[in-house]
Each structure stands twice: as C-alpha cells, then as structure tokens.
Amino acid sequence: MKARTREAALTVTAVSTAVALAACGPDAGNDAGGDDAPRIGLLLPDATTDRWEAQDRPLLEAKIEELCADCEVEHANAKGDVAIQQEQMESMITKGVDAIVLVAVDARSLAPAVRKADAADIAVIAYDRLAEGPIAGYVSFDGEEVGRLQGRALLKAMGDRVRGGQIVMMHGDPSDPNADAFKKGALSVLEGTVKIGKEYDTLQWRSETANMNMSSAISALGVDTFHGVYAANDGLAAGSIAALKANKVDPLPPVTGQDAELGAVRRIVGGDQYMTVYKPFRPEASAGAALAVAAARGESFAGIATDTVRTAGDGEVPAVLLTPVSVTVATIEDTLVKDGVYTIQQICASGLEAACAEAGLT
Ligand code: GAL
C-alpha cells in the first residue's frame, strides 16, 4: 500500500475521518479510531517562503513513504497565521495522529498546543525551527553559523568598501527563533566592522515588507551612501533588490540571502544578488522523516539523532544538527546542481543563457 497524503482541514469541525490502513510498524501508537497505521501530521508555516512547499514537503513525504509505506501523512499550511496553526495542531490532536512534524509560525504561541499534544502522547518533532514546549526531537541547521556565513560573504563582496562602509540589514520574523540566531551570527561578524545605517525586523518574513523598508532606508540614508545589504533570506533579498532598482541605486550593492530559492540562484547568476545560504533540504527532510516515523511507531531515536539541544524550558532533546553552505556564482554547480536541487537548464532558462555561459554553467 502506498503512503498517502491528504490536506488537513483548517478547523477542528471540518476534520474528516481518517481511513483505516494496515499497520506498518510494531507499535502503531495511539490511533483513536482503532486504525493502527501510523499517521503523521505535517504542519508547515507559510507560503511566502518557497522552500516549505517546494522542497521540504515533497522530500519529507517521499522519505516517510520510503521508510513506512503504510504511513499516512496529513499536511496543512498555516499561511503565516498563528491562530490557524493553533487550530491545525488542535485538529491533529483530535484526530489522534501518532506524531506531528511542526515548523512553528511562532514558537512561543504554539507552546500550549505542543504541551497538549505531549499530554495526548503525540510526539512533536520540531522541524527547522526550535518549537517551545515538550518536543520529542529537533532537526535543523546551526542558525548562528548561517548568519556568520552571510556576514562574512557580505564583507568579502564589499572589499575596499568595508572601511568606512555602511550597510542596511533586513532581519527575519522575531517570533521565529531562527531569525534571532541568524541576526546574532551576522552581527557577530558585522558589528564594529561596518556601520549599520538601518536595521529592520520583518514580520512573517514578507518580501513586500522588506521592499517597503528598503525604500524607507534609501529615503533616509540617500541613494549612494550604503555599500551592502544584509538580507536574512531570499524573499527579503528579492524585496530589497526590487526597491534598490525602483530607486535607481546603480550599481547595486552586494545583497545576501538564504534558502537557495530558484529565483535567488537566478539573481545570483544575473548579478543582482551576491550569495545565498544553502541548507541542504534532503538531509534535513530525511532526518525529520526518520524521527517522525520512529516516533509514530513508538521506536527510539537511536541511530538517527546524535546531537542534543537545550529547549526553552531547559530540557534536553535529541537533535540532528546539519551544516549550512554559503553559495555564490562560483559554487552553484558544486553545490545545488551537484545535489540535484536544480538543473542547469532550470537555472539558465529564459534570458540567463549568456550569464550562465559566462559563469561556466553549461
Ligand atoms: C526560517 C528558516 C529559513 C527561512 C525562514 C523563512 O526559520 O530556517 O530557512 O525559510 O524561516 O520562512
């Protein structure tokens, strides 16, 4: 039998009844309806950042299917709304899924729902973002290292402009604990080395907000007075670059990013964005899937989680911590193309053929 995926309903009242499947594990957990096939809830945070639906979701679903053909995955996306994600957690608990893979929209606000899941004996695996409350496991990257990679790359791209140079910083959403780690890592490299002309947090990681903030920064600082833009991810980079262009900032200053979105890789080849941080999606999704399947079957994480992490409540949970990679035009082929994330054809289509040839991407 194939693993199956269903859209989870947004509200508790609209929850559909799970279809019984044959059990695939030795201990299929706590299914309420007597259905003993493991069921895994997959709760993603938003559709503003491409990676969740374009990379993480298909990779997680495929790996869960590979590890447990009878497992059923129920997916829902909170569209950046904390209340919606709280309802989705409630819905998963009511259905009695066996494990939940959670990318929290807001780590703190979701803690009561995590406690409720734990009380119902449902393991919550914090995926990419360290959720608060009694989580069972965690998989992610070293967030401060992401910030350091971005900061160092920005200084390298600024070259002679570092001395006496000024930058603008676009940070992520403060309710996402990763945003804080990226900021801390970046500031550890940049603060005291360059002047930070303007600095913004960006609620819900919205590209449009970064666009507005960049325009305000240009009005406040002037068009020619800054020499680099720290953008915490590719969506913020896109919004910032659009504002730089609309305000005729020429030449464009180097702009950082994160997530290795296809659009960002194309901007890097075309010269509009300097770098992105690639957090290999496949190993993260594989670890997330392995933790979720083990939890759903009531098995231990031995052999999967070799690290531990301290949670907000001071507990220690098993973790898988992976290494982020800085990507510039010179390393696209050795990283993203080599890992099969994108083909050269995808990157170089529609108008980028000449830039790709120049970059040796053929
Ligand atoms: C972070 C995540 C980043 C980025 C961002 C925006 O938590 O680590 O990769 O996607 O959220 O959603």
Query: Does ligand 1 lie within 6 Å of residue 183's CB atom?
Result: no
Q: How far is the CA of 305 from the centre of ligand 1 (A)?
A: 21
pTM of the shown model: 0.90
Counting every residue written for the chain, the total comes to 362
pLDDT at 310: 92
pLDDT at 36: 79
Cα separations (Å) of 272 from 87, 229, 292? 40, 12, 39
Report residues of the chain scoring pLDDT below 70.
Answer: 1-35, 314
Sign, Cα dihedral of 313, 316, 318, 319: positive
Q: Is the CB of 178 under 6 A from ligand 1?
A: yes
φ/ψ of 100, rounded to 5, equals -125, 130
Closest ligand 1 atom to the C-alpha of 259? 9
CA neighbor of 230 nearest in space, from 262, 278, 266, 198? 198
- Closest Cα to atom 12, ligand 1: which residue? 49
- For the chain, state the CA radius of gyration: 21
Pocket test for ligand 1, best of 49, 141, 171, 281 (most atoms within 8 A of CB): 49
Q: 159: how many CB neighbours lie within 10 A of its CB?
A: 11
3-state secondary structure 132-183: CCCCCEEEEECHHHHHHHHHHHHHHHHHHHHCCCEEEEECCCCCCHHHHHHH
In Å, the largest CA–CA distance within the chain is: 68
Cβ of 202 less than 6 Å from ligand 1: no
Torsion of CA 302, 307, 310, 314, to 10 degrees: 40
Pairing of strands 99-102, 72-77: unpaired
176 lines ligand 1 (CB under 6 A): yes
Q: Whose CA is nearest to atom 7 of ligand 1?
A: 178
* Spatial contact of 198 and 243, defined as CB atoms under 8 Å apart: no
SS (H, E, C) 38-88: CEEEEEECCCCCCHHHHHHHHHHHHHHHHHCCCCEEEEEECCCCHHHHHHH
Q: Write the pLDDT tens digit of every residue in 140-185.
A: 999 999 999 999 999 999 999 999 999 999 999 999 999 999 999 9
- The beta-strand segments (E) located in the chain are 4-7, 39-44, 72-77, 99-102, 123-127, 137-141, 166-170, 195-200, 228-231, 276-278, 307-310, 316-322, 325-327
> Is residue 56 lining ligand 1, measured as CB closer than 6 Å?
no
Q: Which of 144, 137, 82 is nearest to 107 (CA)?
A: 82
Nearest ligand 1 atom to the CA of 140 is 8
Question: 249 φ, ψ to 5°?
Answer: -75, 115
Strand partners, 229: 168, 255
